[in-house]
Amino acid sequence: MSIKNYIPLAALFLTLLLASVACQKDNYYNDGGLSRQSEAEKNMSTYDFLASRPNHPFDSLVKIIDLTNTKNLVNQDNITFFAVTNDGIIRFQSRFNPDDRQQPRLLSTIGVDTLKMLLNRFIIPDHRIMLEQTVASGISDLSNFYDDSNSDSIVLHGISGIPTPGSQVRTGADKMEYEHRKIPGVDTTSYRMGMQTHNLITKNAVIHILRDAANFAAGFKTRYIR
């Protein structure tokens, strides 16, 4: 084989090696449902897990927990928590201003009751719900209907990577989507969003990370405040 033929093979090998290393990151996971965690992380409280991420994707969420004094809420035993990244929270903050040219409204100037109510939308108490459980139940199964910490209706949609019933041919990864059902007069719409990561384990919870395109408002009717 000539040296010219070795060059593309070497480039391919390097690309695969870098991709493999990227998938082994231990501090945050974007993997479609297969999380690699240390035993130390699994023994952390949910608050400590979110606050300790070296790349700081949950700093805004941690600030909301601090502002609302709800550390005990997210650290309570046996919950499923849908965590919103900084992007999803700043999208919510921006809705409080009349146009995109202004700075997002500071979290500290938004009502504590509003922030706590919205945080509760992302917590399902008394359940540790795994991706596999949701997919196995099927989209229409009543077992995928839950109450959040406000007693609002939440539906979890399990989407199989094997789209044809009875087939063994997998065309993609299994996925879960979160839906908060519209409350008339309170919300503008039902809110549905997929995950970028599933099945993270903490001492007290199962955590699923919503996509960066999420919005912490989760359908809530926000008003522009000048």
Per-domain boundaries in the chain: 27-210
35-66 per-position pLDDT tens digit = 578 899 999 999 999 999 988 999 999 999 99
The 3-state DSSP class for residue 123 equals strand
Fold for 27-210, please state it.
Answer: FAS1 domain (2.30.180)
Place of tokens 């700075």: 103
138-195 per-position pLDDT tens digit = 655 667 999 999 999 999 999 888 877 777 787 888 999 999 999 999 999 999 999 9
Distance set, CA 225 to CA 17, 116, 200 (Å): 50, 19, 37
Phi then psi dihedrals of residue 9, to 5 deg: -65, -40
Statement: the pTM of the whole predicted model exceeds 0.85: no
